[in-house]
Amino acid sequence: MTPMGTTTTIIASARLQAYRATLETKLKHPRCMKISCTQETNTKGGKPASRSNLTQNFSSERNLGTLAVISDITWKRFSYEKKRYYHSLSGVRDLLKRVRMVHSSKNQSSQKGEVILACDRFVRTDTKDSLSKMAKLIDGKQIASDIRSELREQIVKWIQQGHRAPQLTAILIGDDPASNTYVANKMKAATDVGIVSKTERYSSDITEEQLLRRIEELNLDDAVDGILVQLPVPDHINERKVCNSVSCGKDVDGFNERNIGRLCLDMNTLIPCTPLGVQELIKRCQIETFGKNVVVVGRSKNVGMPIAMLLHADGRNDTCAMDATVTICHRFTPPSELARFCKSADIVITATGVPGLITADMIKEGAAVIDVGITRVVDPVTGKNKLVGDVDYDEARKVAGHITPVPGGVGPMTVAMLMKNTFIAAKNLAKK
C-alpha cells in the first residue's frame, strides 16, 4: 500500500469533501427511497441505517469515508434495483472489507488517506501524478485480473456443487497471425479461470456450408457451453450468417442478431465482450454516468453501437445500463463537430482504429477517456512494432481525469468478459 504522507492526506480530505457533496445530492434523489444495505457499514452493527441516520452519520468526518463508498453503492442499488448489477459485488465486498479494516485501525492519522485508497483501488495514482494533475490511469490489467480471480472462485464453487467445468470452443479459420494470438490468449485465460477450452482450426478453404454444419453440431453438443468464431472469416463466408448460426445461449461473443436485438431492448442477454468490458471498467472505477454527457466515437455493430447502448439505456432494465446522455460520432462527423462534441463530454469513449484521432484539446478537463482503439504502428524511435490507441495519450493524460492506456486498458477486459460470458452461458444451460 502507498505510504501515507501529508500530501496524500490533504488530497484525501479534499476528495472526502467532494464525496460529501455528491452524497448529499444522491440522498435527496427521489429514487433513493430507503437504505437497507448499509447494515454492513453501520459500525454500531445491527439495524440497517435509515436515510436520516446516514445523513446524520455523514456529518461526522470519521464515518464519511465509509459512507461515501457505501452510499454510492447503496444508491446504485436503488437506482438500478437489478440483481445483475452485482456481478461486481465481490469487488464491492472487497472495498467494504478494506474500509472496515481502516476503521478498526488504531492509526487514526492515516485513516482518511486509506479510505480514499480503498475507493480508488482500481485506478493507479501516485503522489507525483496527483500533484501534477495527471489523469488517473484506469488499470484494465488489474481489473481484468480481479475479475478472473472472482470467476476462478465462482467456478470452483460451481464444480463443488456437482456441475461440470464450463466449456468454451473456439473456431479459428486460416492462419492470420493476429487471430492466432487472440485465440491463444483467450484459451489461456479460459484455462486460468477453470474453463475447459478447445480450439478447432480449419484451413481458409473451408466452405460456408461445412462451417455452418460444424457450428450446428456444437450447438447441439451438451458438453459445450460457449462457442466463439474468431472474426474475420474468409471473404467467401458470410460473417452475419455465421454469427447468427451460433445458438443464442452459447453465443459468448454476443454477435447473434437476436442477442443484439435483446441488448437494444435492454433485455437480459449475452452482451458483446468489449462493450461489456468498457461498462465494467466504468463501474469498477466508480466513474459517474447518471445523466452525464458521453461521446462514443465509432459506430460499428460489434463495438461502438453496443457501447452506446450500454451507456445511454435505462439502468433499471436488465442490461443495467448507465443512464447517460450519449452522442455517437463516426467517420462522417465533421472533425470540427467531433471536437465540439468531445469537448463537452464528461466521458469520451473512442473505438475507431485511427491513431491520434482524439487530441488533448478535444478533452474537457477532468473527463474520463476510454480508448478502445488498437492499431499496430512502427515506433519511429525504435523501429519496432507497437500498439497504440485512438487517443494522443501523452497529452490527453494532462487534461483528463481518468484515462485508459493502450495496451493495458480495454484489451484485457475483453478477454475477462469472454470468460464471464462463458460462465453465464454454462449456468443458463445447466438450468435448462
CB of 417 to ligand NAD, least distance (A): 9
Nearer to ligand NAD, 27 or 295 (CB): 295
48-80 burial, b if ≥16 CB within 10 A, otherwise e?
A: bbeeeebbebbeeeebbbbbbbbbbbbbbbbbb
Nearer to ligand NAD, 55 or 359 (CB): 359
For cell 486460468, the residue is 192
**Cβ of 25: how many Cβ atoms within 10 Å?**
10
CB of 351 to ligand NAD, least distance (A): 4
CB of 19 to ligand NAD, least distance (A): 31
* Contact by Cβ (8 Å): 302, 308: no
For cell 484515462, the residue is 403
Nearer to ligand NAD, 224 or 328 (CB): 328
Q: 279 Cβ partners below 8 Å, 6+ apart? A: 271, 307, 310, 311, 320, 321, 322
Q: How far is CA 163 from the centre of its chain?
A: 28
**Strand 226-229 vs strand 293-297: parallel, antiparallel, or unpaired?**
unpaired
Instruction: Kindly name the residue from 72, 139, 251, 253 that is annotated as catalytic.
Output: 253
CB of 353 to ligand NAD, least distance (A): 3
**Cβ of 314: how many Cβ atoms within 10 Å?**
13
Nearer to ligand NAD, 117 or 362 (CB): 362
Q: How far apart are the first and last CA of the chain?
A: 46
CB of 251 to ligand NAD, least distance (A): 17
**What is the C-alpha separation between 423 and 357, in angstroms, rounded?**
36
Q: Is 230 a catalytic residue?
A: yes
Kindly tell me the burial class for residue 138, based on how many C-beta atoms sit within 10 Å of its own C-beta (0-12, 13-18, 19 or more).
buried
- The CA R_g of the chain, rounded to the nearest whole Å, is 23
Instruction: Kindly name the residue from 136, 230, 279, 371 that is annotated as catalytic.
Output: 230
**What is the C-alpha separation between 126 and 185, in angstroms, rounded?**
30
Nearer to ligand NAD, 93 or 301 (CB): 301
Tell me which residues touch ligand NAD (CB under 6 A).
274, 297-300, 302-304, 329-331, 333, 338, 351-354, 357, 372-375, 410-411, 414
Nearer to ligand NAD, 354 or 360 (CB): 354
Q: Is 431 a catalytic residue?
A: no
Q: 356 Cβ partners below 8 Å, 6+ apart? A: 388, 390, 391, 392
Kindly tell me the burial class for residue 173, based on how many C-beta atoms sit within 10 Å of its own C-beta (0-12, 13-18, 19 or more).
buried
CB of 297 to ligand NAD, least distance (A): 5
Nearer to ligand NAD, 368 or 410 (CB): 410
Instruction: Kindly name the residue from 26, 76, 186, 250 that is annotated as catalytic.
Output: 186
**What is the C-alpha separation between 147 and 280, in angstroms, rounded?**
10
Q: Is 186 a catalytic residue?
A: yes
CB of 278 to ligand NAD, least distance (A): 9
By annotation, the residues acting in catalysis are 186, 230, 253
